[in-house]
Amino acid sequence: MRIPKRRYDIVVEILCILCLLGTFLYLIITWNNIPDEIPGHYNAVGQVDRLTKKSSIFAVPIVNLIMYIGMSAVERFPQVWNTGVRITEENRSRVYRIIKDMVKTIKLLVVIVFSYLTINSAIATQLSPWFSPVFLILMFGSLIYFIVKLIINK
């Protein structure tokens, strides 16, 4: 079943592509200003607990791109989604629309977070202590919002 595109779909795709391209462009433009050793891993409070070579910084945006492509592929096949509700002819388009919006929102959050982590690793020595709580609240808040919306509109 093909789910019609809405403005939200287009805006999310544009934002994701801008983040992905912007991250790669930022790294290319600022390559000479990036220190030889960069944070390779952060603990839960944002402190660096491993340093790595500058060249490894491209791993994160490459993984980000792979996840974006994977989530975009999954988005196109609603019949493989585990919706959590029984799909009928009456609710199919409604349920698939809600799940598609959820997948798109999660995709956008993942792309933004990985782009932020990449750029932060190039310029900073640690993450804000608010990074983990804010990310978790946004991710789980989005999931809860869409699950509640799905239950109400099933």
Whether 129 maps to a domain, the answer reads yes
Whether 34 maps to a domain, the answer reads no
- Which residues contact residue 138 at a Cβ distance below 8 angstroms, ignoring those fewer than 6 apart? 109
Whether 1 maps to a domain, the answer reads no
Whether 92 maps to a domain, the answer reads yes
Whether 112 maps to a domain, the answer reads yes
Q: What's the domain count of the chain?
A: 1
* pLDDT tens across the length of the chain (154 residues): 677 789 999 999 999 999 999 999 999 999 999 999 988 888 888 888 888 999 999 999 999 999 999 999 998 887 788 877 888 888 888 888 999 999 999 999 999 999 999 999 888 778 888 998 999 999 999 999 999 999 888 7
Q: What is the pTM for the complete model shown?
A: 0.89
**In this structure, are residues 118 and 112 in contact, taking their beta carbons and an 8 Å threshold?**
no
Whether 2 maps to a domain, the answer reads no
Which range of residues forms the domain containing residue 129? 7-28+50-153
